[in-house]
């Protein structure tokens, strides 16, 4: 059993049915809100990616290559892994 699940079980032991229903409703509301936020962030990331692709197409290819090389150098000096 996951740690969070164990914590929920421990926290809810000895609660009345009404209290458990209230907890379940609160958890459902929190889940729904987090799913909405995740969907929003996914949409915004997709829009930002599209805008970036359009901008990159407007920049001469040699400048894009310079930008990519600089970003790769910056990321490697920071110890970041570059995916691509």
Domain that holds residue 28: 19-75
Question: Could you give the CA distance from residue 41 to residue 31 in angstroms, rounded to a whole number?
Answer: 15
Candidates 39, 43, 41, 19; CA nearest to 31 is 39
- What pLDDT does residue 50 have? 97
Q: Which residue has the higher pLDDT, 11 or 63?
A: 63
- What pLDDT does residue 12 have? 78
Q: Has residue 11 been placed in a domain? A: no
Q: Has residue 1 been placed in a domain? A: no
- What pLDDT does residue 10 have? 76
- What pLDDT does residue 70 have? 92
Question: How many domains does the chain contain in total?
Answer: 1
Asked if 23 and 15 count as a contact pair (C-beta separation under 8 A), the reply is yes
Q: Has residue 13 been placed in a domain? A: no
Q: How does pLDDT run across 9-61, given as a tens digit for each residue?
A: 777 788 888 999 998 999 999 999 999 999 999 999 999 999 999 999 999 99
């Amino acid at each position: 059993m996951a740690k969070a699940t164990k914590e929920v079980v421990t926290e809810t032991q000895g609660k009345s049915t009404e209290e458990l229903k209230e907890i379940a409703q609160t958890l459902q509301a929190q889940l729904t809100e987090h799913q909405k936020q995740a969907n929003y962030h996914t949409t915004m990331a997709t829009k930002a990616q599209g805008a970036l692709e359009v901008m990159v197409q407007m920049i001469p290819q040699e400048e894009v290559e310079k930008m990519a090389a600089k970003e790769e150098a910056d990321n490697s000096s920071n110890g970041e892994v570059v995916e691509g």
